[in-house]
Amino acid sequence: MKARIKEISEELKLVISGKTLDALLPPLLFAVVNGRYQLTVASILAIALALLLGIIRLTRKQPLRYALGGLVGVMFASGIAYFSNNAANYYLPKIVSSAVLVFSALVSIVLGKPMAALTSHLTRGWDLEWYWRKDVKPAYQEVTVIWFLFFLMRLALQVILFRRGDIVELAWTNTLLGLPFTIAGLILSYLYGIWRLRNLNGPSVEEHREGKPQPWEGQTRGF
């Protein structure tokens, strides 16, 4: 059990390395402040917090990509909310992002090029031909279907809350269905994916690369 927990921990670090709260804290601050003060104050404070987090990363010589991404996202979302004079519009970019993920996952399933396989390929650099094998591809196709259902559920909740104009609920929904659910989803995807690969009895990445004949040991780690 300890070995499996360590394995999952290492896999998560590989996939979400550098992920911080930089993209989560400013939206929460925006929602809290907007409930007590004006939209302008909420926007300014959210941008200031995102900028502060970026400065902290810079002084600590930590990766800036998430801090900068969070700053740009907060500035863009704040601009939409400010110029439309509607605080709920702050979450429009996140709704659009969810819609894009739903569409991308669906298209990848229909085309037979599952998003889970493409994501794994970009993250790990494994041979793309391995993912398309008949004794490997079904595992990634099924995981992508799970992703699609999750993305669709999140989009539906976001749209419902957006139409209600409930800023606080939008903030907490985006937060809880963001990093926490992503981590949980990655763990479940990994466990299911490894189990499914074993049942498919296909070769591991190394066995495929080296052209080893059957019987194969199969993929025992990494998905």
- In this predicted model, what pLDDT tens digit does every residue of 129-174 receive, in sequence order? 999 999 999 999 999 999 999 999 989 988 988 888 777 777 777 7
Among candidate residues 172, 170, 173, 108, the one with its CA nearest the CA of residue 142: 108
Distance CA 171, CA 215 (A): 51
Is residue 223 included in any domain, yes or no? Answer: no
- What pLDDT, on a 0 to 100 scale, did the predictor assign at position 79? 81
Is residue 215 included in any domain, yes or no? Answer: no
Is the pLDDT assigned to residue 40 strictly greater than 70? yes
Is residue 219 included in any domain, yes or no? Answer: no
Is the pLDDT assigned to residue 101 strictly greater than 70? yes
Is residue 152 included in any domain, yes or no? Answer: yes
Is residue 39 included in any domain, yes or no? Answer: yes
Q: How many CB atoms lie within 10 A of CB 37?
A: 12
Distance CA 25, CA 187 (A): 24
Cβ(126)–Cβ(205) below 8 Å = yes
Distance CA 216, CA 48 (A): 55
Among candidate residues 46, 66, 55, 72, the one with its CA nearest the CA of residue 171: 46
Is residue 221 included in any domain, yes or no? Answer: no
Is residue 154 included in any domain, yes or no? Answer: yes
Average pLDDT over residues 167-188: 77
Look at the chain and report how many structural domains it folds into: 1
- What pLDDT, on a 0 to 100 scale, did the predictor assign at position 18? 46
Question: Nearest 5 degrees, angle CA 143-CA 111-CA 200?
Answer: 40
Amino acid identity, position 60: R
Share of the chain above pLDDT 90, in %: 29
- What pLDDT, on a 0 to 100 scale, did the predictor assign at position 169? 78
Is the pLDDT assigned to residue 26 strictly greater than 60? yes
Is residue 217 included in any domain, yes or no? Answer: no
For every residue of the chain, DSSP letters joined together read -HHHHHHHHHHHHHHHTT--GGGTHHHHHHHHHHHHS-HHHHHHHHHHHHHHHHHHHHHTT---HHHHHHHHHHHHHHHHHHHHT-GGGGGHHHHHHHHHHHHHHHHHHHHT--HHHHHHHHHH---HHHHTSTTTHHHHHHHHHHHHHHHHHHHHHHHHHHHHT-HHHHHHHHHHTTHHHHHHHHHHHHHHHHHHHHHHT---HHHHHHTPPSSP----S--
Q: For the ranges 3-12, 82-91, 152-161, which has the lowest average pLDDT?
A: 3-12
Q: Is the dihedral of CA 83, 88, 94, 99 positive or negative?
A: negative
Domain span including residue 117: 2-210
